[in-house]
Amino acid sequence: MKGIILAGGSGSRLYPLTKVTNKHLLPVYNKPMVCYPLEKLIQCGIKDVMLVSGRGHAGHFLELLGSGSDLGINLTYEVQEHAGGIAEALGLCEKWAGRDPVLVILGDNIIEDSLADAVKVFKSGAHLFIKEVDNPERFGVARIDEMGQILEIVEKPNPAFSPYAVTGAYIYDPRVFRFIKMLEPSSRDELEITDINNRYLKMHELSYSLLNGYWSDAGTFESLYRANELVYKSCNR
């Protein structure tokens, strides 16, 4: 399995912090934000990682992480020319990924749990990591029945019909790149990863894990503050 970190976007919700650098290079407690998803990939034993960033500050990632040799991995870089959505950014990795499954983590996701068990048992289809949260309307939301089956996933419903947020970590088989090519842009003029997840759901090839430990994105001032607080408390228990 290969690993992908999606660290594009303009970071407009964190301006002016993002005026001089990429959002994913901002500090979360004692290290740059992007180091957290990278650590999750390394914990899973993944050696080949691609990092997708936007234009402007892409070179800052190279200055920080280099080739990945210091971390024992092979790190490759790709640039997303325009902010066209998570699925579009993932599609840029097709040739590099080849026929391997991929563990994809958004660069602003701070996850406490290890993802290694899900990686070890993954065979095909898609696998999501879901967390019960207080503000699910900010995310893709999964409707789960009493049998524990996902019935549907809706992007940013308001009001939310369920407390279960789809976090920014996904495992996909190689078919994901073919499915991305079939997508139509959403009302936000983006290719939505939720549409990919619903496709696997309709094929009855979507599974999930519930995260027990803390999880936060870090894409707004409030969530960036919360992510810092969560990591600080975890490191100083």
pLDDT value at position 213? 96
Three-state SS letters, the chain: CEEEEEECCCCHHHCCCCCCCCHHHCEECCEECCHHHHHHHHHCCCCEEEEEEECCCHHHHHHHHCCCHHHCCEEEEEEECCCCCHHHHHHCCHHHHCCCCEEEEECCEEECCCCHHHHHHCCCCEEEEEEECCCHHHCEEEEECCCCCEEEEEECCCCCCCCEEEEEEEEECCCHHHHHHCCCCCCCCCCCHHHHHHHHHHCCCEEEEECCCCEEECCCHHHHHHHHHHHHHHHCC
What are the pLDDT digits (tens) for 6-43? 998 777 899 999 988 999 999 999 999 999 999 999 99
What are the pLDDT digits (tens) for 56-89? 788 899 999 999 999 999 999 999 988 789 999 9
Contact 14, 221 (CB under 8 A): yes
pLDDT value at position 8? 86
Question: CA 118 from chain center: how many Å?
Answer: 15
CA distance 203 to 205: 5
pLDDT value at position 12? 85
pTM of the predicted structure, to 2 decimals: 0.96
What are the pLDDT digits (tens) for 170-209? 999 999 999 999 999 888 888 999 999 999 999 999 999 9
CA distance 186 to 140: 14
pLDDT value at position 152? 95
pLDDT value at position 82? 81
pLDDT value at position 229? 97
Q: Taking all residues of the chain, what is their mean pLDDT, rounded to a whole number?
A: 94
pLDDT value at position 83? 78
